[in-house]
A and B are shown apart, each in its own frame.
Chain A
Amino acid sequence: MTFYRSVVLVFLFFSVSFGLSRWLWVRYLHAFTRRSLRRLGYHATELKYSFEEIIYLIALPATDHLLQSATVEHMHIVVDYDSLLFPSAQALRVVFIDDHGTKQWIAFLSFDRFHIPVLDEAYALDKLTEAEMMKITTFLFLHPNTHDGIIREVVRKMRA
C-alpha cells in the first residue's frame, strides 16, 4: 500500500508542476509587473507597445476574398512557449479560422521583437534591470488585451 502512496505522491508533484507551472508563472508575472510598474508610475493598461515588428505571411492588403472579409472574430492568437516546466514566451501567431474550421497562419510576432518604448527607456536609464524588463514585457506579451490589439492591427492591415 505504501508503495503506491509513494508513487502517487511523486506523480502528484510532477502533475501539479506540469499542469499549473505556466499558470503560476503568469500569476507571478502579473504580481511582479503590477509592483514594478507602480514603482515607475505606470499602469499596465497605459503602456503602448509597437506593432512594427509583426511579420505577415500573406500579401497586404489581403488578396484572398476570404481574408478580405475576415473579422476580428475569425482571428485567434496562438502563443508559442518554450517549455511546459520552465515556460518562456517565444512568439505569438495570428491564425485565421474560417467558418469551416480551416486554419491559416496569417502573422507572427516574435517575443524578442516585441518592444515597449517606455520600458526600453527605463532600462536605458537604469530604472529597470534587464531581467525586470523581460518579465514585464513577457506579462504584457501574454496579456489578452495585447492579443486583442494585435488581432485588430492585423485585420486593419489586411483590409488597408
Chain B
Amino acid sequence: MIGNVWLVAVITYSLILNYVRHTFSALWNKVAFVVSAFIVTMASSWFLDQKVLPWLLVFCIILSAYSFFLVGGVIAGLLSMVAVYFSRQNDPVYVIRFGLISILFGVVGGFCFAWLHKRKERQQQWIGRLLKQSKDLHILREISVSLQSTLELDRLIHIILTSITAGYGLGFNRALLFTASDDRHNVRGMFGIGPMTVTEGYDIWKNVVTHNMTLTDFIALKDKARHENHQLNALLQSMTFSLTDPTSVFYQALLQKRPIIVRHVDLHDTTQKQLHDAFQMDECAVIPLLNRTKPVGILVIDNVVNRNPITDESLESIMPIISQAALAIENARMFNHTEWMAQTDDLTGLYNHRYFQKTLHQEIVRAKVSLQALSLIIVDIDYFKVYNDTNGHDRGNEALQNVALIMKSVIGAQGLVCRFGGEEFVVLISGKSKTESKIYADQIRVAVETTNFYHEDTQPLGKLTVSVGIASFPDDGDQPDQIFQSADRALYQAKSLGRNCIVVS
C-alpha cells in the first residue's frame, strides 16, 4: 500500500516537474531538475532504506555533472557527502571515503561531459560552416547563371544587389551601389535595394514570406524593385562622393583593396555622415569593387532592420559575388561604350546610318500599332562638294558639325537626328504629320541659311544652304523603303527647284 502511494507520488511529481521546469530559463530548468533528482533520491532512501542512498546519489552526481560540468560535479559530490553524513553519522571513515570518491567522480564526470559538450559544439560548428559553404555555392551558381544572361548594366546591378539582400541570397537588409566615374575620381549613387525604415523592412519581409519568393523570383522583378525602392534610389542617385579624399571611408576601402566594417559611424568623415543622415546608417560595411586593381565602384551594405552585426565571416560570402560583379559591371560598361561607338557618327556626334535604319524599322512598327503618324525629313547641304573643294576638308567637316548642331537644337527631344552619310542628314519625328514636320524642316533651313559659315560667300548661292525632302507614314507607304524613297524623291525635287527649299512628298 505504502509502495503504491510512493509510486503514484513519484510519477505525479515527475510529470509536474517536467512540465513546469520548461517555464523557467535554461539555467533554472537545469537547477530545478537536478535539485528535484536529489530530493527524490533522498526522500526515497530516507523513508524507505537509507543503505541505498550512496548508490542512488551516484545518479545525481552524474546528472549534475551532465548539467553543469565540473562545477556541477563537484557541488553534487559535496552535497552527496553531506547527505551520506546525515544517514551514517556513526561511521565518519565511510563518510570521508565516500565524500572523496564522490567528489572525484564529480570532477571526472564534469570533465568528461564538458569535453563531450565542447566536441559536439565543435562538430556542429564545422557542420554549420560546411552547410554555409554549400549555401554560398548555390547562391554563387544561381547568380553566375543570371549574370551571364545579360550585358545590360541596369539588370546586372539589379541581380547583384538582389543576391546580396534577398534571404535566399546572402540576406543583408540593404545594399547601395555607387559606380565610379570614367576618370575614377568620383563615385555616384547608382542603385539601391532595401527599406528606408525598420517598419518598411518588416512589411517587405512579410510580403516576401507570404508569397514565398525565391532568388530567381526577385531577380525577375527588376522593375518592381525599382518602383519599391523609389525613395531610396532618388536619395541615393543624388549622391556623389570624391575618391580623392584620404579621410573618406570609400577612399580607404579602395586604397586597402578590402572591405571595411564601420562599427560606429565617424561623423567627421563626410561620406559616413551623409550615409548616416540619409539612410539612418549606424553600422555598415564598405566594400570596394575592383577589376584588376581598377576601381569600378563601392558597395555599402547594412542591416538596418534586424540590426545583426556585420562580421568578417559574413563578408567572406559576399566577396566571390563582388569579384564577379566588378567584372560584369566593367564588361557591361565596355559593351555599352562599344555599342555607343557602333551607332554614333564620330564627326558630328549624331546617330549614324546603321542606327537610323534600325530605328526607322522600329518606329514604323510602333506607328502601325499606335496608329500614329511618323515623318521622315531628309536634309542635304547644297553644293557641299564646292564648299569642300574651295575651303578644304577641315572646313567642310566644321560645316557638317555646325549643321548637325543646328538640327539637334531645332529638333531637341521631339525627334531623332542622324547623319545618313556624306552631307545628308535625316530626322525621324513620331506622332507628327507632314505639315507639322514641315515647320521643323523650315526652322532648320532658315537656321542654316542665317548662320555664318566660314567663307560661305564662295558658294554658288552666296551662302551655305540646305534642301529638304519630307515623307511620312502612312501617307507615303507603310514600309521603311517606301517612305525613305518618297522623302528622297522630294529632296531631289527640292534640288531641281533651285535648292534652299522644302518639298513635301
Contacts and interface: CB of A to CB of B under 8 A. Distances in A.
B202 A86 contact: no
A141 interface: no
A53 B128 CA distance: 12
B79 to A, nearest CB: 16
Interface stretch (A21-29, A36-44, A65-73, A96-104): A21-29
B206 A48 contact: yes
A3 B49 CA distance: 5
B23 A3 contact: no
Contact of A117 (B7, B14, B168, B202): B202
Given A20-B15, A50-B167, A120-B202, A56 B134 contact: yes
B327 interface: no
Interface of A is mostly: helix
Interface residues on A, range: 35 or more
- Range class of the B interface residue count: 35 or more
Interface string B135-154: 10010000000000000000
Given A3-B49, A5-B48, A28-B23, A120 B306 contact: yes
B14 A52 contact: no
A28 B168 contact: no
B19 A117 contact: no
A133 to B, nearest CB: 12
Given A12-B10, A86-B29, A117-B206, A6 B18 contact: no
Contacts of B212: 51, 153
A110 interface: yes
A121 to B, nearest CB: 4
Contact of A16 (B14, B25, B209, B306): B14
B25 A5 contact: no
Contact of B40 (A13, A110, A157): A13
Contacts of B41: 10
A6 B44 contact: yes
B311 interface: no
A9 B48 contact: yes
Contact of B131 (A16, A21, A108): A108
B248 interface: no
A48 B63 CA distance: 39
Contacts of B138: 55-56, 60
Given A5-B6, A16-B11, A124 B198 contact: yes
Nearest to A80: B124
Contacts of B306: 120, 124
A10 B15 contact: no
Nearest to A88: B26
Nearest to B55: A7
B202 A124 contact: yes
Contacts of B198: 124
Given A7-B52, A17-B14, A28 B19 contact: yes
Interface string B313-335: 00000000000000000000000
Given A5-B3, A13-B37, A52 B67 contact: no
A45 interface: no
Nearest to A28: B22
A29 B52 contact: no
A55 B49 contact: no
A71 to B, nearest CB: 20
A20 B18 contact: yes
Given A17-B33, A55-B131, A118-B206, A86 B67 contact: yes
B157 interface: no
B411 interface: no
Contacts of A124: 198, 202, 305-306
B51 A3 contact: yes
A28 B36 CA distance: 19
A81 to B, nearest CB: 12
B496 interface: no
Contacts of B18: 16-17, 20-21, 24-25
Nearest to B204: A117
A16 B12 CA distance: 10
B59 interface: yes
12 contacts: A3-B51, A9-B40, A12-B14, A17-B14, A28-B19, A55-B138, A56-B135, A86-B29, A86-B67, A118-B206, A121-B202, A124-B198
Interface of B: 3, 6-7, 10-11, 13-15, 17-19, 22-23, 25-26, 29-30, 33, 36-37, 40-41, 44-45, 48-49, 51-52, 55-56, 59, 63, 66-67, 124, 128, 131-132, 134-135, 138, 166-168, 171, 198, 202, 205-206, 208-210, 212, 214, 305-306
Given A7-B52, A86-B26, 16 more contacts: A6-B52, A10-B44, A12-B10, A12-B14, A13-B13, A13-B14, A16-B11, A17-B14, A28-B23, A49-B209, A50-B208, A52-B167, A55-B131, A55-B138, A60-B138, A124-B202
